Amino acid sequence: MRTWKITELDVEARQPEVLDSEAEGRAIVIELPAGERLSEHQVHERAWLVVISGAIEVDGSELVRGGTGLLAEFDPNERREVRATEDARLLLLLSPWPGQGHPSQR
């Protein structure tokens, strides 16, 4: 077993921290300062985004706002934009890793 105290990790803004990367999935912690955003994007994998602290808006198939404890799930290749309405710490889970069509698979 491996464990992480996500709220205590030293993660810099704009410097995502990959916690683990295996064929089954990838776990990434992201520190997003208030007002900043992850521009519209998509990934090849199914994605789960968990708000560990702070608050965000997610603009995908609909606009959703939420804070600590919000969990958003995205289908592979689903486009979305994430904006921090407060300083936010996020956990992004991708599965499988890498997904079908990922550039590393060519």
Q: Which residue has the higher pLDDT, 79 or 103?
A: 79
| 102: three-class secondary structure by DSSP | coil
The structure tokens 């289908």 sit at: 75
pLDDT of 17 higher than 70: yes
| 105: three-class secondary structure by DSSP | helix
Which amino acid, residue 1?
Answer: M
CATH number, domain 26-100, options 2.30.40.10, 3.40.50.620, 2.60.120.10, 2.40.128.640: 2.60.120.10
Q: What is the pLDDT of residues 30-64, one digit of tens each?
A: 999 999 999 888 888 999 999 999 999 999 888 99
pLDDT of 105 higher than 70: no
Residues 14, 18: Cα–Cα separation, whole Å: 13
- Hey, where are the domains in the chain? 26-100
Q: Which two tokens stand for residue 30?
A: 């992201």
Confidence band for 23, pLDDT divided at 50, 70 and 90: confident
pLDDT of 100 higher than 90: no
47 within 8 A of 93, measured Cβ to Cβ: yes
pLDDT value for 80: 92
